[in-house]
Amino acid sequence: MGTKMVFVTVGTTSFDDMVAAVDADEVHTILKEKGYDEILFQIGRGTYEPRALNGTLSTSFYRFNAAYKDDIRRASLVISHAGAGSIMDTLVERKHLVVIPNSKLMDNHQEELAGALAERHHLVATTCTLLASCLKAVDLNTLEPYPDVDEAAFPSFVDSVAPPPQHSKQA
């Protein structure tokens, strides 16, 4: 059987509280018990650098990588901040997703987005403090896949409100 990897992403910002929460011994132990054996962190501009604490999981990190979507594809589980880009990048790949909104942000649209998608069972939303108990209790297999993106929807809408000009044939 192949490696089961957890990918942790903060996007282009920093979210040291989330990185530290995922890097805790208790979380590593729970992930190992659930069959994961590797954890890869994308830490952005954060100052907290993850370390292999109790040796239960292979642990590594980087700050930024233009090919981070490859890490999402390789992951069995993604733990992410609640930025819209990171959420959608993960959902379109149909990966299990646990989201932690950054409660320190003003005008916290992250909580609204995470809450709405959690209500639809596309992801699990939690906090840094509740991460370990959430991971222990949750059955990620009950999540609903996000619907396929309809790439023709927008062009069809534009055509319906502004039909293309009809070309007349000249004889």
Q: How far apart are CA 39 and CA 9, in angstroms?
A: 11
**Does 170 map to a domain?**
no
**Does 166 map to a domain?**
no
Phi, psi of 14 (to 5 degrees): -130, 150
**Does 20 map to a domain?**
yes
**Does 87 map to a domain?**
yes
What is the residue range of 138's domain? Answer: 5-161
CATH number at residue 85: 3.40.50.2000
How many domains does one find in the chain?
1
Q: What tens digit of pLDDT does each residue of 96-110 get?
A: 999 999 988 766 788
**Confidence (pTM):** 0.86
**Does 121 map to a domain?**
yes
Q: What tens digit of pLDDT does each residue of 91-145 get?
A: 999 999 999 999 887 667 888 899 999 999 999 999 999 999 999 999 999 999 9
